[in-house]
Structure 1
Amino acid sequence: MKKKVYAARLGVTALALTLVTTCLMGSTLARYVTEVTGSASATVAKWSFKASEAEGSTNFTDIDLGRTAYDSSTIKADVIAPGTSGSFDIVIDGTGSEVGIDYEIKLEAATDTTFPNDMVFSTEAITEAKPGKSFSEFINTAIEGSVNQSDVAEAMKETVTIYWAWDFGKNDTATANDNDYAGKSWEIGITVTGKQTTPTETPASAS
């Protein structure tokens, strides 16, 4: 009787081992599997923007409308008066920038600074055909421009020249004149803003 029990147990054990072996063999069936890893990279463009009164300068503190040379026998050096004219430069410098630059220049008279109505400003040389605008009119429109991206340093510099002229009033009299401006100090606030030019895609070449 015991032999039959042992035989039955051995038969069950053998069946169980057969099932386990079958499962293991089924799970070891293989196929080629390859995993490739990589990465994406990008270099962010450099940004550089400066604006100054002249190349090599770092700010606007040196701008002086009175530095235009006139004969010392007619007007003292470094001052302006009716009948004088001149200009000053604002240098836009994007050297080192790897993107194009859109710039905007705004001028504003400082507190307690007023200009004569017959004093005019312009971004072009002032002539009879191009008489310029009074300061209050001139500052209503921002001076805008762009500097295209270039690896050539000089190509990323642009000079904006602002011309001024204080003409003799055609109807000046003893009671209507520019005497109120004599001895005054004028100050113009200058704000220059540079922004990255919006990138544009290169059109696909025709096949």
Structure 2
Amino acid sequence: MNGKVTAGKIAPGTDGSFTIEIDATDSEVALDYIIAFSNIINKPKNLSFYSDEAFNTKIENLVGYSGLNGSIGNDEKDKKTDTKTIYWKWPYEGNDGANDSDDTSSGKTAGEMTFTITVTGTQQEPSKAVNS
């Protein structure tokens, strides 16, 4: 990341990632989970999200993206946590390496970009043991 950008912030000309951690250690059964994005406000036009670190697989519709959904607690290691990563890239669009309107414009009122991430877990039906 550009050394002139405050830690924990994103800016034109930078890229990075954020992780979503799912923890079901207190659940007695396996879980299916769905991660949903909503209320995306003030997204710059050329800020893009990706499902891979190489920035090859662009997430065209973050709100409708289902690649983060999964299950935990039902494998042979009884894994009760999971981590999903979303990658972002915000290139400069100006030919001179400087900001232009695509770098800062969302087509809406100026301000900070915000969005909501909701994780919903549903317990799986426990397998029924057969008494012998």
TM band (smaller chain): 0.7 to 0.9
Partner SS, residue 105 of structure 2: helix
Question: Is the 2:39–2:116 Cα contact (8 Å) retained in structure 1?
Answer: yes
Whole-angstrom CA distance in 2 between matches of 1:126 and 1:147: 26
| Alpha-carbon distance change, 90 to 175 in structure 1, aligned in 2, over 3 angstroms | closer
RCO comparison, higher one (Cα < 8 Å, 6+): 2
Calculate percent identity across the aligned residue pairs.
31
Q: Which has the higher helix share?
A: 1
Whole-angstrom CA distance in 2 between matches of 1:109 and 1:125: 25
Deviation at 1:131, TM superposition (A): 4.2
Partner SS, residue 87 of structure 2: strand
TM-score by length of 1: 0.49
Tell me how large the CA RMSD over aligned residues is. Answer: 3.3
Aligned with residue 59 of structure 2, among 95, 112, 133: 133
Question: Is the 2:35–2:118 Cα contact (8 Å) retained in structure 1?
Answer: yes
Q: Which has the larger radius of gyration?
A: 1
State the aligned residue count. 124
| Alpha-carbon distance change, 175 to 103 in structure 1, aligned in 2, over 3 angstroms | closer
Structure 2: unaligned runs, 5 residues or longer: none
Structure 1: unaligned runs, 5 residues or longer: 1-68, 203-207
Equivalent in the alignment of 1:29: none
Equivalent in the alignment of 1:115: 43
Question: Is the 2:15–2:89 Cα contact (8 Å) retained in structure 1?
Answer: yes
Q: Which has the higher strand share?
A: 2
Whole-angstrom CA distance in 2 between matches of 1:87 and 1:174: 21
